[in-house]
Amino acid sequence: MNKKIILVLIVLGISLLAFVGYKNFIVPKAVEGEKEVTIHIINDKENMDKTFTYNTDGEYLIDLLEEKKDELGITFQDFDFGKMIVAMLGYTVDESNNEYFHIYVNGEDATTGVGEIPLMDKDTYTFELKTY
């Protein structure tokens, strides 16, 4: 019985260390202060290619998108792993066609979701309708 308790405590300790390590060393850090950022939305299906420039003191992309969701026509859907954008500028993704809005940061694939992408001055965040 004691061996099981010790094993559970060891597993919990390792899990806690992994979580702390992830939060402190892997997740990109936010930058405080005023930033000028560009939101670029591409939807070839609707012949749409629009660019918006904003000044914000938000720290993460989700902060800016929630602030401007009416202007950008954004609808979010909550999942276990966080929020996902399911509509932009009046276009709702068609899940039956496996559509989604792919995110690029300065032309590179985003490695996290909108809730963990830090806003950086002069960065461009592109949302492109794609299928998987």
Confidence (pLDDT) at 82: 85
Domain containing residue 57: CATH number: 2.170.130.30
Q: Tokens in use for 120? A: 């950086």
- pLDDT of amino acid 18: 77
The torsion angles phi and psi of 103, rounded to 5 degrees, stand at -110, 130
CA distance 102 to 23: 24
Type of residue numbered 34: E
> Out of 19-33, 38-52, 53-67, 98-112, which region has the weakest mean confidence (pLDDT)?
19-33
For 17-49, write each residue's pLDDT tens digit: 777 666 666 555 667 789 999 999 999 999 999
Q: Average pLDDT, whole number, for the chain? A: 90
Are 9 and 56 in the same domain? Answer: no
pLDDT at 48: 95
Domain with 22, as residue range(s), is 1-30
Count up the domains in the chain and report the number: 2
Note whether 58 and 90 are same-domain residues. Answer: yes
pLDDT the model gives residue 22: 62
Mean pLDDT of 64-78: 95
17 and 47 in a common domain: no
**Do 42 and 7 reside in the same domain of the chain?**
no
pLDDT for position 45: 93
Per-residue confidence band for 2, with pLDDT thresholds at 50, 70 and 90: confident
